[in-house]
Chains A and B, each alone.
Chain A
């Protein structure tokens, strides 16, 4: 499934570059390959090039260099309306002067489909998104969530093999967004559609996708399934961008057997971390550790584990968990999350505690 460059790839970007002004590259050397039926999310901060990639795929932007292939055929010179790609836009782009049913019939109509056949398909598509009763309404008479469903139905009604979604849930409130996330993934999987989804919301990316491509600075920083992305970030950008993360800076003292021994900047202590993105002793590194992997009860740590002194700055009770902000090796934003269990003590600000972690939970990444 992760076989990049495989011959059965459905969507392929080959060394694609894009520049708008001839001076700076918005997309730098993009290589991506997607098998059929995959749900892939392009995730990244704004300006990272993810939407540009989507627009190039849809045909609204042309690649400055490189080739985009769909089902093995280069599509660089095919106009958007001949690509047969369904697309859901950020603000839905439902045609305001047409009813919902007319909106849905539009792609069928321009394909020259007969009226009766159209009607059946429109009805099925509306039922699919549970909007069967709304065919006669105008988009302006629908709520945001309903418009979203219609936009989805419209992108699917002509049975495209590839659907692109450009931050489709950005305008919805949290509850509706979560519900729609589930619905979109269900539809995509049920219909076996290949989906490229663009978002800047990492939760959305993690919950919906088969694979996530993390974009930054015009490049894919990491392309991996959600769990891998969270558990095993390849560089400090990904570690920082996906989920909550604690970063400690330091210098690699020793590198052996995949374990790096690191001297932290703000303290004399040495710690051990899994060497992921460091090359040799003497390199500067950023050490990444997830807040829930930090152990505050040294009794439960292995004997050989390193421990650090930490000062409690803030303790927040959040019901299921406790969230503690600590000062560790000069970093005042070191977060620890502990499960609310009977044997976990509550900490008070000003208290000094010992913290530690397993070396395999701690990753030494690029500086």
Chain B
């Protein structure tokens, strides 16, 4: 009785929400009751979820990021990129001295860290020749500093000693620590030198860090980079505050400051052009400038046969437009493969679904047998069958349908790829079709016949429309598998039967242009998603049954 009254006088709070027996809002009470269940469900799927996140979602996200990522230019040539902001490609002239000065420092550091070749290969994708230019410059950049180094050393032999440099630029604390810890002490700049000799201090600090972290040497015992002499020359001739400097070797610096006026000087621009004429080429500078932002559309533009040039977006040269062709070919061939699969699979699936159990089980094994055979074996089998000295040609020649001199070319072209892939993907079409057809009761066709339909009409008007979801499911499966197929086209595709995926594989494993490979992959992914969406709009994904 008390239950009945409680039910009729439900407690509500100020907002009119229902309250549970203990006075908490009913919704929260329910959520709490369900939380345990939800947590348990989450725990059950957690291993799979984590696995998919780590091995699937994360790589895809990384790939998508790589297709636009372009930090290498800004990271390797930070000063040059900043200096280049002032320069316009449209001016038609090579940039001015400050850009080359910045390049000298960036190049020296990059060369020491051996990063200049990586950047060279990266920019070489955009303008050929940059790779060798960078490699050459990495070797030649020392000459720029050595030009001044010789003059300093001629002035005073003390400049040859690493200790001289270390005492000027190293902090007292570091110098003291030297005595106790030796090379272990972490280098730090002396107070005031960064203001007195800004350029030299920057380069020396970079040198010291490099010597300690990369070479694990003591800057105390290592010759500084030759560029440091050039920097010192710049600082001294620029009227740096030698007067304000009172640290070690102040005499030496004062002597140098007095002498630099008489030093022979050399422009960085001339020095670089001396290393390689290409440094005067505005195309090189244009490319560096165009690819200096941290994110670039360049890879995507390349993927659709465009290129990012200093003047803006342009079409790729005629002989380099391959991706549009490859995408079109991939789509076309996948479509042909899908249609062939539909035509071949439909009767088989129909038989499977309509024959007596015992026979259909046997047939099913025949369908699945190739499924259990290695992909490579099946593809190689097609090579044996289709090649010019292969089984099919031999038979055709033997029965006289084909002249021995004109054997058919059926492999290493589109035909071979289509045949082999149709065979390989056939089970993916048969199985969804079969599972849908199995659910169509025979009474529908019987009803149609009893209503006066001929066998064909009963099939076409009644059976076929109901089997369409199976065709849809199979087609999506086969098409999406085909569009990204790699092994078979690589083995039997020759040059005319390769897919976009073969090109992606080439960029990932051979040319190492991962950005372009990632952009091509992203486009492929987008194409599949768009097709899926279009299919959902036209046919409706509810009409797809996989089992």
**A80 & B450 in contact (Cβ 8 Å cutoff):** yes
A325 nearest CB across to chain B (Å): 41
Q: Are A107 and B465 in contact (CB under 8 A)?
A: no
**B454 at the A interface (CB under 8 A):** yes
In the assembled complex, the CB of A288 is this many whole angstroms from the nearest CB of chain B, namely: 38
Selected interface stretch from B253-261, B366-374, B441-449: B441-449
Interface string of B421-457 (1 = CB under 8 A from A): 0000000000000000000010110111111111101
Give the CA-CA distance A87 to B449 in the complex, in Å: 10
| With A90-B443, A93-B441, A95-B444 as contacts: A85 and B450 at CB distance below 8 Å | yes
Question: B453–A106 contact, CB under 8 A?
Answer: yes
Q: Does A182 make an interface contact (CB < 8 A)?
A: no
* Number of interface residues, chain A, beta carbon within 8 A: 27
In the complex, the answer to whether B453 meets A110 with C-beta atoms within 8 Å is yes
A111: which B residues are within 8 A, CB to CB? 452
B450 contact from A86, A91, A97, Cβ within 8 A: A86
Contact (Cβ within 8 A) A154 B451 = yes
Give the complex CA separation of A190 and B318 in angstroms. Answer: 81
> Within the complex, which residue of B444, B454, B461, B465 is in contact with A81, where a contact is CB–CB below 8 Å?
B454
| Interface members, chain A 152-166 (any B CB < 8 Å) | 154-155, 158, 164
B446 near A93 with CB under 8 A, answer yes
B453 touching A87, Cβ below 8 Å: no
0/1 interface trace, chain B 98-126, chain A, CB 8 Å (1 if under): 00000000000000000000000000000
Residues of B close to A59: CB separation below 8 A: 449-450
Q: How far is the CA of A86 from the CA of B444 in the complex (A)?
A: 14
Q: Are the C-beta atoms of B447 and A87 separated by less than 8 Å? A: yes
- Whether B452 and A84, one on each chain, are in contact in the complex, defined by CB atoms closer than 8 angstroms, is yes
In the complex the two chains form, is B461's CB within 8 Å of A106's CB? yes
Residues of B within 8 A of A154 (CB): 451
A95-B462, A96-B466, A106-B461 as given contacts; A158 in contact with B452, CB under 8 Å: yes
User: Which residue of A81, A86, A91 is within 8 Å of B453 (Cβ)?
Assistant: A81
Known A96-B466, A106-B461; judge A158-B451 contact (CB<8 A).
yes
CB <8 Å contact, B451 and A97: no
A271 at the interface (CB under 8 A from B): no
Q: Are A87 and B461 in contact (CB under 8 A)?
A: no
Q: Does chain B have a CB within 8 A of A239?
A: no
* Interface pair B443/A93, CB less than 8 Å apart: yes
Residues on the A chain within 8 Å of B452, using CB: 81-82, 84, 107, 110-111, 158
Binary contact readout A50-92 vs B (1 if CB under 8 angstroms, 0 otherwise): 0000000011100000000000000000011111111101110
Given A81-B453, A84-B452, A107-B452, A89 contacting B447 (CB threshold 8 A): yes
Q: Which residues of B contact A83 (CB under 8 A)?
A: 450
Residue among B443, B449, B452, B465 with max Cβ neighbours from chain A (10 Å): B452
**Whole-angstrom distance between the Cβ of A21 and the nearest chain B Cβ:** 12
The CA of A51 and the CA of B450, in the complex, are separated in Å by 15
User: Which chain A residues numbered 92 to 144 have a C-beta less than 8 Å away from chain B?
Assistant: 93, 95-97, 106-107, 110-111
CB proximity of A68 to chain B, nearest CB, Å? 15
Tell me the nearest residue of chain A to B453, going by C-beta: A110
Give complex CA distance A178, B465 in Å.
35
State whether A97 touches B465 (Cβ < 8 A): yes
Q: Which residues of A contact B449 (CB under 8 A)?
A: 59-60, 79-81
A84 to chain B, nearest CB (A): 7
Partner of A93, one of B447, B453, B455, B461: B447
List the A side residues contacting B455 at CB < 8 Å.
Answer: 79, 81
Question: What's the nearest-Cβ distance from chain A to residue B217, in Å?
Answer: 80
A87 contact set on B, CB distance < 8 A: 446-447, 450-451
Complex-state Cα separation, A110 to B441, whole angstroms: 21
Bound CA span A97–B461, Å: 10
- A80 and B446: CB pair below 8 A? yes
Separation of A251 and B451 alpha carbons in the complex (Å): 54
Chain A residues, CB < 8 A from B457: 110
Residue in A79, A90, A107 whose beta carbon sits within 8 Å of that of B451 in the complex: A107
Bound complex: CA A13 to CA B450 (Å): 19
Contact A97 B466 (CB under 8 A): yes
The listed residue with most B CB atoms (<10 A of its CB), out of A89, A90, A111, is A89
CA distance A107 to B451 in the complex (A): 5
Q: How far is the CA of A352 from the CA of B35 in the complex (A)?
A: 66
Chain B residue at minimal CB-CB distance from A86? B450
Given A95-B466, A155-B450; 14 other pairs, CB 8 A cutoff: A59-B450, A79-B455, A81-B455, A81-B458, A84-B452, A86-B450, A86-B451, A87-B446, A87-B451, A93-B441, A93-B446, A97-B465, A106-B448, A110-B453
13 contacts between A and B (CB under 8 A): A59-B449, A60-B449, A81-B450, A81-B454, A81-B458, A82-B452, A90-B443, A93-B441, A93-B444, A97-B466, A106-B461, A107-B453, A110-B451
Residues of B within 8 A of A (CB): 441, 443-444, 446-455, 457-458, 461-462, 465-466
Interface residues of A (CB under 8 A from B): 58-60, 79-87, 89-91, 93, 95-97, 106-107, 110-111, 154-155, 158, 164
Going nearest first, the 9 A-B pairs with the smallest beta carbon separation are A107-B451, A93-B447, A87-B450, A93-B443, A80-B449, A97-B465, A110-B453, A81-B449, A89-B443
